[in-house]
């Protein structure tokens, strides 16, 4: 306490670094909104701020978090992928159909089925990338078509029925816990950490921002823009498939409509979290806060026993309000 100097030195240092810290402060724009929601939740419902409820919020949002992670990468690189929500459904379904007795009749071992789930995600990503990067088709329309095709394939393959009887391994991610939290939550946290680190500290990560910010300039700087754009679609596909596996475990079955409509939440979380739809801007921390905000809102609506007929309208309204909040606390246009 008697040593004054270090404090002073710290003060000048932080003043010198001020300009570099301001952009990082913007990433925290959603935290006030999140804090307000937590306070409201605690006041409105006494069971809200309990450990079990908070864990259930995390468990419920792990699948969404993984898909948002993939979508954020695609958005940062300046592209779109709407088909991720259908990947969430079809990838685990293909894996399950290869494993369960009532499926294709192959009855593969569980681990092979799970590996297939990730491969299906990657294959869809490769195909999307081929159409968008190689053939230079419009990403929005290509992935919209893929969304419909994949959904149709899933409904066709399952004849609209729900798949049960998967081996326990299909559910482990969502059901097994480690230090109180589901494995899926740990998995999401680790992946966010890894990707976030890579985006900031690895050349490939930085080149995503470069490609999304100014594709021609990135190419001129020697970045292989096509290869990286393609790779991003593959990674996003794998992450969506993984999200689908987590969702399967969380629900305990695969419905033919698994993931249906999820893409709206994915985009909402990403944009609320500060990922620019124009590319080149956004961080994984921001995207994660976006996911958490949506999850907390959903949980609050359930706890407040809002009639289920009204939840959609309320949910949409809250997305709009939080977008405005993020706009004014963050101060940056979200276009």
- Rounded CA-CA distance 54/47 in Å is 10
- Residue 192 touching another protein (CB under 8 A): no
What's the token pair of residue 69? Answer: 């992670």
CB of 83 or CB of 276, closer to another protein:
276
- Residue 207 touching another protein (CB under 8 A): yes
Name the residue among 18, 87, 4, 24 with its Cα closest to residue 285.
24
CB of 122 to another protein, least distance (A): 24
- Residue 209 touching another protein (CB under 8 A): yes
Packing angle of the helix pair 308-330, 262-272 (nearest 10 deg): 20
Packing angle of the helix pair 183-201, 225-251 (nearest 10 deg): 170
- Residue 216 touching another protein (CB under 8 A): yes
- Rounded CA-CA distance 13/22 in Å is 14
Per this entry, what is the length of the chain? 335
What's the token pair of residue 234? Answer: 């593959």
- Residue 206 touching another protein (CB under 8 A): yes
* Long-range Cβ contact pairs of 50-55 (< 8 A, separation 24 or more): 51/180, 53/299, 53/303, 55/180, 55/181, 55/182, 55/185
- Residue 334 touching another protein (CB under 8 A): no
Task: Say which residues have a Cβ less than 8 Å from residue 146's Cβ, sequence separation at least 6.
Answer: 82, 83, 86, 124, 127, 128
CB of 206 to another protein, least distance (A): 6
Candidate residues 115, 221, 313, 321; the one interacting with another protein per rule CB under 8 A: 221
Q: List the interface residues with another protein, window 247-276 (CB under 8 A).
A: 276
CB of 274 to another protein, least distance (A): 12
CB of 166 or CB of 211, closer to another protein:
211
CB of 17 to another protein, least distance (A): 9
- Scanning 89-97, 221-229, 260-268, 285-293 for contacts with another protein by CB under 8 A, the matching segment is 221-229
- Rounded CA-CA distance 294/30 in Å is 11
- Residue 281 touching another protein (CB under 8 A): yes
CB of 128 or CB of 276, closer to another protein:
276
- Residue 222 touching another protein (CB under 8 A): yes
Asked if 116 contacts 130 with a C-beta cutoff of 8 angstroms, the reply is no
Candidate residues 5, 203, 261, 335; the one interacting with another protein per rule CB under 8 A: 203
Residue 181: phi and psi, rounded to 5, are -105, 145
Asked if 67 contacts 262 with a C-beta cutoff of 8 angstroms, the reply is yes
CB of 20 to another protein, least distance (A): 4
- Residue 223 touching another protein (CB under 8 A): yes
CB of 213 to another protein, least distance (A): 4
CB of 220 to another protein, least distance (A): 6
Binding site for another protein (CB under 8 A): 19-20, 23, 200-203, 206-207, 209-210, 213-214, 216-218, 220-223, 276, 280-281
């Amino acid at each position: 306490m008697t040593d004054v100097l270090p404090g002073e030195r710290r003060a000048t240092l932080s003043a010198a670094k001020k300009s570099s810290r301001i952009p990082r402060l913007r990433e925290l724009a959603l935290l006030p909104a999140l804090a307000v929601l937590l306070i409201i939740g605690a006041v409105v419902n006494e069971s809200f701020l309990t450990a079990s409820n908070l864990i259930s919020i995390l468990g419920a949002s792990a699948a969404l978090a993984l898909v948002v992670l993939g979508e954020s990468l695609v958005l940062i690189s300046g592209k779109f992928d709407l088909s991720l929500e259908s990947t969430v459904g079809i990838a685990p379904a293909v894996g399950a159909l290869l494993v369960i007795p009532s499926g294709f009749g192959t009855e593969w071992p569980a681990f092979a089925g799970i590996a297939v789930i990730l491969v299906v995600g990657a294959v869809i990503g490769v195909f999307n990338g081929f159409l968008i990067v190689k053939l230079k088709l419009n990403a929005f329309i290509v992935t919209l078509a893929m969304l419909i095709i994949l959904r149709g394939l899933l409904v066709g393959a399952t004849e609209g029925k729900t798949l049960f009887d998967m081996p326990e391994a299909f559910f482990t991610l969502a059901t097994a816990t480690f230090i109180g939290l589901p494995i899926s939550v740990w998995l999401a946290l680790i992946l966010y950490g890894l990707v976030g680190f890579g985006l900031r500290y690895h050349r490939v990560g930085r080149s995503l921002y470069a490609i999304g910010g100014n594709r021609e300039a990135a190419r001129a700087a020697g970045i292989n823009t096509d290869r990286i754009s393609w790779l991003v679609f593959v990674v996003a596909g794998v992450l969506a498939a993984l999200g689908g596996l987590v969702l399967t475990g969380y629900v305990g079955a695969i419905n033919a409509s698994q993931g249906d409509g999820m893409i709206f939440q994915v985009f909402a979380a990403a944009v609320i979290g500060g990922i620019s739809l124009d590319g080149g801007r956004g961080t994984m921390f921001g995207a994660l806060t976006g996911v958490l905000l949506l999850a907390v809102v959903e949980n609050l609506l359930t706890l407040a026993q809002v009639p289920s007929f009204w939840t959609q309208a309320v949910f949409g309204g809250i997305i709009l309000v939080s977008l405005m909040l993020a706009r004014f606390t963050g101060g940056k246009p979200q276009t």
